[in-house]
Amino acid sequence: MEEQIKQIQKKFTDEINEISDLKSLTDLKVKYLGKKGELTIFSKQMATVEPSLRPVIGAKLTETRNLIESSIIEKEKTLQEAKLQKKLESEKIDVTLPSNKTKVGSKHPLNRVIEEIEDLFVSMGYDVVDGPELETDEFCFERLNLPKGHPARDMQDSFYITSEYLLRTQTSAVQARAMLANKDKSPIRIICPGKTYRREDDATHSHQFNQVEGLVIDEDITLAHLKGTLEVFMRKLLGEKTNLRFRPSYFPFTEPSYEVDVSCFKCAGKGCNLCKQTGWIELLGAGMVHPNVLKMNGYNPEKYGGFAFGTGLDRLAMFKYGITDMRYLYRNDIRFLSQFDQMDV
């Protein structure tokens, strides 16, 4: 009988060594220790054993049972650890692998220019203000010294929504808004970038474009301040070698008024196709704030003076980045837009 127990133990040891998964281990456990398990059946035969041998056989049986139980527990532990290890390995993240490229959008060239201008003027103590795109005739024209029926209204063909409301044709509309909003009539220093709209229908103009307006009101403001400011503005944006040329012009809300040209950055003023062989590119409208405008918007022209300027941001962005067609700016072509991320300008 002892020999048989030994046999069972050996068989068990051989079998458990072959096992490599938890399910087979459970089956093995049932096979030996279950109700009809080999060892259980053997224990039941104890009754037939000669009484004098029972203690020895009994002890042997218990020993074997304990051994089988502890082997199973140990094997179970080993298998579970192996399983966990395998899981960890299969889920391992290799941080050195190249990642799937996430597409990041790029800043629109117009916004780049706007941000650069804002940074510059904020550094000179200006505030950046906003105005409505759906504007009233009053703010877009009347408060800028352009009463109804004024011939200069023809310079800006407009989209009227009603007889009172229109899409603003110029950011100059914020001049009057800023002056009126400033209740204590203290000095003003603002810029206002934003969208503007005109009823244009030729190849080089778009019905929607962008401008930036500048307005300064204070005591003792002279044309020299305007010139100095625009020089800093244009040199910062287009290069330190840029020169400015002031040509007399007419705007109803400034007196005197100027068209301001910058020296062509492509040919440095020598003459090329970009500047149509003139060496100059027309870029800004500017002038000293008209006394009527000051008066209409609550400022005493005897005490205060000021200057204002306005420029088209689309053209500025085109010159700055060498964009040949304005329509590119509005086509949303990612191939075009993403180029500016690589440009260190």
DSSP state of 276: T
Report, in Å, the least distance between residue 329 CB and ligand PHE.
18
Cβ nearer to ligand PHE, comparing 37 with 214: 214
> Whose Cβ is closer to ligand PHE: residue 32's or residue 251's?
251
For residues 35 and 50, give the distance between their C-alpha atoms in angstroms, rounded to a whole number: 24
Residue 172 binds ligand PHE (CB under 6 A)? yes
Q: Least CB distance from residue 342 to ligand PHE, whole Å?
A: 33
Chosen residue from 113, 309, 313, 329 binding ligand PHE by CB under 6 A: 309
Dist CA 222 CA 288 (whole Å): 8
Q: Which of 9, 170, 229, 263 binds ligand PHE (CB under 6 A)?
A: 170
Q: How far apart are CA 340 and CA 234, in angstroms?
A: 20
Residue type, 25: L
Q: Which one among 177, 233, 310, 320 touches ligand PHE, defined by CB under 6 A?
A: 310
For residues 80 and 86, give the distance between their C-alpha atoms in angstroms, rounded to a whole number: 10
Residue 345 to residue 335: CA distance in whole angstroms: 18
Per CB under 6 A, 37 contacts ligand PHE: no
Binding span for ligand PHE by CB under 6 A among 217-225, 290-298, 302-310, 321-329: 302-310
Q: Write down the least CB distance from residue 121 to ligand PHE, Å.
A: 15
In angstroms, rounded to a whole number, what is the distance separating the alpha carbons of residues 260 and 316? 13
* Partner residues linked to 251 by β-bridges: 254
User: Are 113 and 313 in contact, with CB atoms under 8 Å apart?
Assistant: yes
Among positions 176, 281, 286, 288, the unique one binding ligand PHE when judged by CB under 6 A? 286
- List 194, 269, 287, 306, residue binding ligand PHE (CB under 6 A): 287
Q: Between residues 136 and 338, which has the closer beta carbon with respect to ligand PHE?
A: 136
Helix and strand counts by DSSP (H, E) for the chain: 12, 9
Among 57, 212, 308, 317, binds ligand PHE (CB under 6 A): 308
Q: Is 109 in the site for ligand PHE (CB under 6 A)?
A: no
* Tokens linked to 141: 């024209």
Stretch that binds ligand PHE, among 30-38, 90-98, 237-245, 304-312 (CB under 6 A): 304-312
- The least CB distance from residue 311 to ligand PHE, in Å, is 8
Residues numbered 251-280 forming contacts with ligand PHE, rule: CB under 6 A? 251, 254
* Count of residues touching ligand PHE (by CB under 6 A): 10
| Distance of closest approach, residue 229 Cβ to ligand PHE, in angstroms | 12
Beta carbons within 8 Å of 308's beta carbon, 6+ residues apart:
172, 175, 213, 214, 215, 216, 253, 254, 286, 287, 289
CB of 240 to ligand PHE, least distance (A): 25
Within 196-235, which residues bind ligand PHE (CB under 6 A)? none
Name the one residue in this structure whose structure tokens are 């407009």: 158
CB 193 within 8 A of CB 128: yes
Please say whether the beta carbons of 200 and 155 come within 8 A: no
Instruction: Write the burial class of residue 299 (CB in 10 Å: 0-12 exposed, 13-18 middle, 19+ buried).
Output: buried
Residue number with the smallest Cβ distance to ligand PHE: 310
Residue 104, SS3 per DSSP: coil
Which chain residues interact with ligand PHE by CB under 6 A? 170, 172, 251, 254, 285-287, 308-310
